[in-house]
A = this chain, B = another copy of it.
Amino acid sequence: MVDFAQVQSKTGFGAPERFEGEVADCEVLGRIPKDLDGSFFRVGGDFLYPPMFHDDAPLNSDGYISAFRLNNGRVSYRGRYVRTRRYQNDLAAGRQLYGYYRNPYTDDPSIRDPEHPNLRTVSNTTPVVHGGRLFTLKEDGLPHHIDPLTLETKGTWDFDGQWKSQTFTAHPKLDPLTGEMVAFGYEASGLATNDVYIATVGSGGRVTHEMRVKTPYMTMLHDVAVTHRRFIIPMCGYTTSLDILKAGKIHWWWDNSKPAYIGVLSRTGDGSDIRWFKGPPRCMMHTFNAYDDGDKVVIYAPFWDGNFFPFFPNTDGTAFDPKRARAFVRKITIDLKSKGEGYEEEILYPFPVVDLGKVDPRALTLHNRYGYTSFADATRPFDAAHANGLAQGRANNCYGRFDFHTGKFDAYFAGPTHTLQECSFVPRPGGHEEGDGYLVGVAQNYAEMRSELIIADARDLAAGDVARVILPFRTSAQVHGIWASAQELA
């Protein structure tokens, strides 16, 4: 028997979704572009059972994948839990058996297994399609192989035994020129280890190249960047140790004294060429993109000033500081000819954004112009009468197209009772120019307690959406989403 009464966000939009369902033919406002043939996959977390500990991270919630299938102007929807081992064990027991986020020492004795922490992954972070296969990902375990139509879980995926890490990142990079997937795993050899496994998977789904490196200190490596030639590892002050975990504590702690590092190495070497560049403490979570500029590497990223996860404590005992938990669009330039260990950082826009940035996937690894992410514009209309708990100012009510070359930006506004989740860029079929396509993403409509898929013309965001797909219910929050064309899935 389940009782969410002790969970902080048991009601309203923050309440767990907890159901699996489908809509055969979605209601649509506007017109679905007829040339869109494919699926928008979303992955997020949704607690099947309340977490064991009240101060646990929402990152510990059960993986849930949903898909909007667009074809010939019609849209169907489906959502399913990922059938991880944890999901199955919990459902059989009828209760939460798993303890803190990524701390197996806190699990129920019936399933406790610290030697295989990857078996307790919730696979709740990212969908990816590569080699015609759909996977859900979370950085503490292996990919889960998902049927792209039914969203049924087929099992975990280790690339026929070729993947040599216990873990697989939530942020593999797809090289648009080679069709390769460049991926990695950290804590690759077990809990609190600082070794990183990096591998390239060819378009046929086979591991074609691999490398191993170690980070200057043990840390979270959530995202990386990949250029046409190089692999880039930003890392920052989240740390842990086996002692911390064995003591039954939270996995990650933020160390304000730790410098940020950015590692650069060739994609095709053995890892021994890695160079670490050092900067002031900075929380480096997601990247937009990176590219080679001769002997320089340029990284676009919405990095944070400091710890932005309020549920990961500071090691120095200070309280969480919301002023540091702000992300800005940054351009980082690393000169590989320099003898020093520093790098240049420039803030491109003076206002904070959400750090879930995307680029046109055709421009990934290349010298791109545009980045896309959501942000809160408190000057936009706000409907307090139908806010249902939504807070003005905190609401991510806009998608922005950020022009890294000119410093300009264009914005899409979702509405006075809406918040926006991460957007994804969909290249217009037949188009070739960077930025020619659609932005898609889910809006939460607080007034109606429902979710809506937004489809906007990425080159005319101010014009509003071209279509909205109505779900007659609220979905739980997406972490990351991707667009996959029908062709990619065929």
Contact = CB atoms under 8 A, between A and B. Distances in A.
A247 interface: no
Interface residues of A, number: 39
Contacts of A32: 1
A24 B91 contact: yes
Given A5-B29, A19-B473, A24-B48, 15 more contacts: A1-B31, A1-B32, A2-B27, A2-B28, A4-B27, A11-B448, A15-B448, A17-B472, A18-B26, A19-B23, A19-B471, A20-B23, A21-B22, A24-B81, A25-B91
A330 to B, nearest CB: 38
A47 B5 CA distance: 34
Contacts of A94: 25, 74
Dominant secondary structure of chain A at its interface with chain B? loop
Contact of A21 (B3, B20, B28, B91): B20
Contact of A25 (B2, B17, B29): B2
A449 interface: yes
Contacts of A20: 21-24
A73 interface: yes
Interface string A61-81: 000000000000110010001
A1 B28 contact: yes
B1 A472 contact: no
A148 interface: no
16 contacts: A1-B32, A2-B25, A2-B28, A3-B27, A3-B29, A12-B448, A15-B448, A15-B472, A16-B472, A19-B22, A19-B23, A21-B22, A24-B48, A25-B48, A25-B94, A449-B449
A324 B5 CA distance: 44
Contacts of A18: 23, 26-27, 472
Contacts of A48: 24-25
Interface centre among A1, A471, A472 (most CB of B within 10 A): A1
A383 B29 CA distance: 33
A387 B22 CA distance: 29
Contacts of A27: 2-4, 18
Contacts of A12: 448
A17 B473 CA distance: 8
Contacts of A81: 24
Nearest to A476: B472
Contact of A28 (B3, B73, B470, B473): B3
Contact of A19 (B2, B3, B21, B449): B21
Nearest to A445: B11
A4 B472 CA distance: 11
A31 B2 CA distance: 10
Nearest to A26: B2
A21 B471 CA distance: 13
A472 B19 contact: yes
Contact of A1 (B16, B22, B74): B74
A1 B449 contact: no
Contacts of A22: 19-21
A82 to B, nearest CB: 13
Interface centre among A4, A449, A474 (most CB of B within 10 A): A449
A11 to B, nearest CB: 6
